[in-house]
Chain A
């Protein structure tokens, strides 16, 4: 459709105004707040407090470590699932079923998903009672309320994101390239390592960015599945508003979390760009 510049400007006015007033301005205020002294006046004190305190650093490192594990687990489960879905599943209804299986958890609240894991991993949960019944263990395992349960819960939430990212690139891989490799005598495993996998790297990177970023900023799952025993940055932010009532520190931690996320995304995107120019 041909749209005049005047009409285009008119149509864009609404979205731009809304995002300026209710997205950019609130984030701007948050930045200002993080540089403001509780009694007014500009200060770096909040940042010095946050960056000088080992407690905050420990929480941030813990957050990054958990997110790294989550990304690895999502890749290890998500890649084979996407590969299976794109190359091995022939029947349309099975394919459809798997997509429903991937999307339904995405449409369910984090609380509900965390609750599911409490039931499965708890002392008298599904895992412990099955293992006890089979006689593999004598005492229930302490899986719930640990770093492990947070990684399990977050990987569960983010697995569909990784699998769908990889699916989208695997679908666009030119199959004649794989066939050419096979015709030239490459075994399937070699064709995969030399052709299919390298071509799917952009999807893996894109999926990893999103999984890592969403994992770093996740609040609900760590909050419920940590049982108060593990600290991550989003929980710290929440506490500044509900327990310690330090919105200035809360704003500063939010900006730090935002900066970490943006840095990660920037790094991955530039890597992505370089891969594309090389390939």
Chain B
């Protein structure tokens, strides 16, 4: 083959595979959103007509509303705790050398790669032994373990990228460590911490594997509720709830983009596998 032609062919191949990959990424979410507006009683794509009926059905079903509330409370509580645990840990990892720090950071980040279902099982058996199985607290501790790594990772990335000269200047001028942290360090790493908090929130919000073992008929998060629902019904109501969770995902993506830029956040948080 003519060399020029083969190079053009290569470029074309990369572009077309990429377009196929993007279509693959977009299609399922697009389809779910589209069918949530159908006027038919069954799933239809492309949808027939346009109605908000299924959304109304969800909002007027107290069990769905309750599940949304529980998920929101759980994600908020887990994120707040992850910040309290994760930001100080990241600060120490970034600014202090000590024996065993590598092992310790590997421990804190390991929930990112360990089987989530095993974490769910472990928390269930532990909570059963201690008598708090299937309570909000069992869900809570599992979720904190699950999401703290995100806060540590993004905070650590921001802190290591920050030259400590301002902090040292503040301390040389007599600021205490606490003053230095809140007045000098935190304002500079705030975007990274916010991005970490958003990653933590959303990963608690969408989790099934940890939650499912500690759920009851009353205590159920929205993904677990959907998981139970999908076993028996595949209908436009399911599409409406699913679409609502996609809208929330989009809001969080936009928030991350505004905080640190989606490109940086995505690559730092998802792709960096150093432990």
Bound Cα distance A103, B253 (Å): 7
Q: Find chain A residues with CB under 8 A from B24 CB.
A: 77, 156, 159
Interface size on B, residues (CB 8 A): 100
Q: Find chain B residues with CB under 8 A from A85 CB.
A: 18
Closest to B10 in A: A189
Interface size on A, residues (CB 8 A): 98
Q: Are B96 and A3 in contact, with the CB atoms below 8 A?
A: yes
Closest to B172 in A: A2
B52 is an interface residue with CB less than 8 A from chain A: no
Bound Cα distance A168, B230 (Å): 37
Bound Cα distance A113, B263 (Å): 22
Q: Are B117 and A80 in contact, with the CB atoms below 8 A?
A: no
Bound Cα distance A257, B95 (Å): 36
Q: Find chain A residues with CB under 8 A from B48 CB.
A: none
Q: Are A109 and B28 in contact, with the CB atoms below 8 A?
A: no
Q: Are A30 and B118 in contact, with the CB atoms below 8 A?
A: yes
Q: Are B270 and A164 in contact, with the CB atoms below 8 A?
A: yes
Bound Cα distance A12, B158 (Å): 19
B257 is an interface residue with CB less than 8 A from chain A: yes
Q: Are A160 and B111 in contact, with the CB atoms below 8 A?
A: no
Shortest B79–chain A CB gap in Å is: 14
Q: How would you classify the secondary structure of chain B's contact residues: helix, strand, loop or mixed?
A: helix
Which residue of the partner chain, among B108, B125, B168, contacts A26 with CB atoms under 8 Å? B125
Residue positions of B touching A, CB distance < 8 A:
3, 6-7, 10-11, 13-15, 17-18, 20-22, 24-29, 31-32, 35, 43, 45, 84-86, 88-89, 91-92, 95-96, 98, 104, 107-108, 111, 113-119, 121-126, 129, 141-142, 144-145, 148, 164, 167-168, 171, 177, 180-181, 184-185, 202, 205-209, 212-213, 222-223, 226-227, 230, 234, 238-239, 242, 245-246, 249-250, 252-253, 256-257, 262-263, 265-267, 270-273
Residue positions of A touching B, CB distance < 8 A:
1-5, 7-8, 11-12, 14-16, 18-19, 22-27, 29-30, 33, 76-78, 80-81, 83-85, 88, 95-96, 98-120, 125-126, 156, 159-161, 163-168, 171, 187-189, 192, 203, 206-207, 209-210, 213-214, 216-217, 219-220, 224, 234, 237-238, 241, 247, 250-251, 254, 257-258, 261, 265
Instruction: Give 19 A-B contacts (CB < 8 Å), ordered by A residue.
Output: A1-B95, A1-B177, A2-B167, A15-B148, A19-B108, A23-B145, A33-B125, A101-B22, A108-B249, A109-B245, A112-B246, A126-B45, A161-B270, A167-B267, A189-B10, A203-B271, A214-B113, A234-B117, A251-B125
